[in-house]
Structure 1
Amino acid sequence: MIQLKLALHNLVKSKNQSLPFIFSNSMWVIITYIFLSMIYNTNIKTNSYGTVANYILKLGLVFVILIAALSTFYAERLLSKQRMQELGLYSMLGLTKRHLRQIILLENSLFYMICIIIGSTLGMTFSKLAFMSLKSLLGASSLHQSFTLLPLLYVAVIFAGIFILIILFDFWGLRKVNPINLWAKSSQPEKEPKSHILLAVLGIIILLIGYYISVTVRPTGAAFGQFIIAIMFVVVGSYLVFITASISLLKALKKNQNYYYKPNHFISVSNMLYRMKQNGAGLASISLLCTSILVALIASVSLVAGQKNLINLWSPRDIQIVSKAPLSTTANQTIHRLANNYQITMSQPQTLIVTTPVMGALSGNQFNSQFNTKTEYTLSSLDLKQYNHLQNTNYHLKNNEVLLYAPGSNYSQRHLTIRGRTFKVKPVQRFNGAFVYSHTIYKSIFIVAANKTIAKQLNPQPYIYAQGFNTHGTKRHQKQFAKTVQKTLNIDPGNFTSKYIMRDLLKAMFGSLLFMGILISIVMICATTMIIYYKQVSEGYADKDHYHIMSKIGLSKKETKKAIQSQVLTVFTLPIIGAVLNLIFALPAIKSVLTIFSMYNLKILLIVSLLTISVLIISYMLIYLATTTMYRRIVENPSTD
Structure 2
Amino acid sequence: MNLFNLARKNIKGNINNYLLYFFSMVVCIIIFYTFNSLLYIPEIQNVDPFLDSTMSQTSFILIGFIIVFIGYSNAFFTKKRKKEVGLYSLLGVKKKTIGRMLFFENIIIGAMTLLTGLVLGIILSRLSAMLLLKLLGAPIEVSFSIPLEAILTTTLVFTMITIFTSVQSYLLIYRFRLIELFHAEKKGEKVPKASFFSASLAFVLLTSSYWLMFNGMAMLAIPIVVIGTYLLFRSLTVYLLKRAQKKKAKYYHGINIIGTTHLLYRVRGNALMLTIIALLITGALPYIQAAFSEYGMTKKEARSTAPYSYIYLSKDEAIDQQINRIITNDKNHPITEQLDIPIISVKGTTAAPFQDNHDLSINLMAEQTFHQVKKTMDLGDIPPLSGEQAIAFKYYFIHQSAADFEGHDIEIPLPQGKQTLTLEKLEKKSVRLTDGEEFLYLVVDDKLFSEMAENFPPITYKAYEVENEKTTKETSETLQKLSDENMQLLTYYDKYTSIKAFTGMKTFIVSSLALVLLAATGSIIYFKQISEAYADQNRYEILRKIGVNKKEVRSTITKQTLFVFILPLLIGILNGGMLLLSIVVQYDMDLIENVLYFLYAVAAYGVIYLIYYVLTITSYNRIVNR
- Specify if TM > 0.5: yes
1:508 equivalent in alignment to 2:501: yes
Q: 2:93 aligns with which of 91, 95, 102?
A: 95
Q: 1:469 aligns with which of 459, 463, 468?
A: 463
Change (3 A) 1:400 1:371: closer
Counterpart for residue 317 of structure 1:
308
Mapped contact 1:403–1:426 kept (Cα < 8 A):
yes
Per-residue CA deviations over 1:339-375 (Å, capped at 9, x if unaligned) read: 8789966986624314479999xxxxx9511279xxx
1:478 equivalent in alignment to 2:475: yes
The Cα of 1:303 is off from its aligned counterpart by 0.4
The Cα of 1:36 is off from its aligned counterpart by 1.3
Change (3 A) 1:339 1:400: closer
Q: 2:90, 2:458 → 1: CA distance?
A: 87
Counterpart for residue 352 of structure 1:
342
The Cα of 1:133 is off from its aligned counterpart by 1.1
Q: 1:51 aligns with which of 49, 52, 55?
A: 49
Which SS does the other structure have where 1:40 is aligned? coil
If asked which structure has higher relative contact order (CA below 8 Å, sep 6+), I would say 1
The Cα of 1:456 is off from its aligned counterpart by 12
The Cα of 1:405 is off from its aligned counterpart by 5.0
Counterpart for residue 31 of structure 1:
31
The Cα of 1:247 is off from its aligned counterpart by 3.0
Q: 1:284, 1:456 → 2: CA distance?
A: 66
The Cα of 1:289 is off from its aligned counterpart by 4.2
The Cα of 1:453 is off from its aligned counterpart by 7.1
Counterpart for residue 382 of structure 1:
365
Mean Cα deviation higher: 555-564 or 531-540: 555-564
Q: 1:130 aligns with which of 108, 123, 128?
A: 128
Amino acid at match of 1:188: K
Amino acid at match of 2:256: H
Change (3 A) 1:389 1:92: closer
Mapped contact 1:104–1:167 kept (Cα < 8 A):
yes
Residues 402-481 of structure 1 mapped to structure 2, 5 A cutoff: 402-403=390-391, 416-419=406-409, 423-425=423-425, 434-435=431-432, 438-440=435-437, 446-450=441-445, 465=459, 467-470=461-464, 475-481=472-478
The Cα of 1:413 is off from its aligned counterpart by 6.1
Counterpart for residue 153 of structure 1:
152
Q: 1:260, 1:391 → 2: CA distance?
A: 64
Cα RMSD (Å): 4.2
Q: 1:394, 1:617 → 2: CA distance?
A: 45
Which SS does the other structure have where 1:87 is aligned? helix
The Cα of 1:237 is off from its aligned counterpart by 2.9
Q: 1:368 aligns with which of 353, 368, 376?
A: 353
Counterpart for residue 20 of structure 1:
20
Mapped contact 1:235–1:288 kept (Cα < 8 A):
yes
Per-residue CA deviations over 1:250-283 (Å, capped at 9, x if unaligned) read: 3454566666555533212322233323322333
The Cα of 1:435 is off from its aligned counterpart by 0.8
Counterpart for residue 413 of structure 2:
none
Change (3 A) 1:207 1:174: farther
1:605 equivalent in alignment to 2:594: yes
Amino acid at match of 1:624: Y
Which SS does the other structure have where 2:270 is aligned? helix
The Cα of 1:509 is off from its aligned counterpart by 0.3
Which SS does the other structure have where 1:350 is aligned? strand
Counterpart for residue 623 of structure 2:
634
Amino acid at match of 1:608: Y
Mapped contact 2:122–2:146 kept (Cα < 8 A):
no
Which SS does the other structure have where 2:49 is aligned? helix
The Cα of 1:9 is off from its aligned counterpart by 2.6
The Cα of 1:162 is off from its aligned counterpart by 2.3
Residues 576-615 of structure 1 mapped to structure 2, 5 A cutoff: 576-591=569-584, 600-615=589-604
Q: 1:293, 1:358 → 2: CA distance?
A: 46
Between the two proteins, the alignment pairs up a number of residues equal to 595
Q: 1:620 aligns with which of 609, 617, 626?
A: 609
Mapped contact 1:350–1:469 kept (Cα < 8 A):
yes
Residues 183-582 of structure 1 mapped to structure 2, 5 A cutoff: 183-193=182-192, 200-217=199-216, 226-227=217-218, 230-254=221-245, 260-261=251-252, 264-321=255-312, 328-329=315-316, 333=318, 350-355=340-345, 367-370=352-355, 380-384=363-367, 387=370, 397-399=385-387, 401-403=389-391, 416-419=406-409, 423-425=423-425, 434-435=431-432, 438-440=435-437, 446-450=441-445, 465=459, 467-470=461-464, 475-486=472-483, 489-491=484-486, 496-582=489-575
Mapped contact 1:398–1:450 kept (Cα < 8 A):
yes
Q: 1:378, 1:570 → 2: CA distance?
A: 59
Q: 1:378, 1:258 → 2: CA distance?
A: 73
Amino acid at match of 2:107: S
TM-score (norm 1): 0.79
Mapped contact 1:344–1:478 kept (Cα < 8 A):
no
Change (3 A) 1:53 1:367: farther
Unmatched 5+ residue regions in structure 2? Answer: 376-380, 411-420
Q: 1:359, 1:29 → 2: CA distance?
A: 60
Counterpart for residue 220 of structure 1:
none
Mapped contact 2:387–2:445 kept (Cα < 8 A):
yes
Per-residue CA deviations over 1:571-622 (Å, capped at 9, x if unaligned) read: 23322322332343133145358x58xxx44443343333443444344334
Q: 2:482, 2:555 → 1: CA distance?
A: 74
Per-residue CA deviations over 1:14-52 (Å, capped at 9, x if unaligned) read: 1221111111101111111111121223442333xx124
Counterpart for residue 221 of structure 1:
none
Mapped contact 2:340–2:463 kept (Cα < 8 A):
yes
Change (3 A) 1:463 1:62: farther
Change (3 A) 1:37 1:231: farther
Counterpart for residue 141 of structure 1:
139
Which SS does the other structure have where 1:368 is aligned? coil
Which SS does the other structure have where 2:365 is aligned? strand
Counterpart for residue 180 of structure 2:
181
Mean Cα deviation higher: 242-251 or 4-13: 242-251
1:68 equivalent in alignment to 2:63: no
Which SS does the other structure have where 1:470 is aligned? strand
Mapped contact 1:315–1:435 kept (Cα < 8 A):
yes
Change (3 A) 1:103 1:192: farther
Q: 1:452, 1:343 → 2: CA distance?
A: 34
The Cα of 1:466 is off from its aligned counterpart by 6.2
Mapped contact 1:268–1:567 kept (Cα < 8 A):
yes
Mapped contact 2:205–2:224 kept (Cα < 8 A):
yes
Amino acid at match of 1:546: R
Mapped contact 2:480–2:489 kept (Cα < 8 A):
no
Amino acid at match of 2:308: R
The Cα of 1:506 is off from its aligned counterpart by 0.9
Change (3 A) 1:335 1:122: farther
TM-score (norm 2): 0.81
Per-residue CA deviations over 1:427-454 (Å, capped at 9, x if unaligned) read: 799x9xx3166535x7x76331337979
Q: 2:362, 2:92 → 1: CA distance?
A: 82
Q: 2:361, 2:62 → 1: CA distance?
A: 39
Which SS does the other structure have where 1:439 is aligned? coil
Counterpart for residue 81 of structure 1:
79
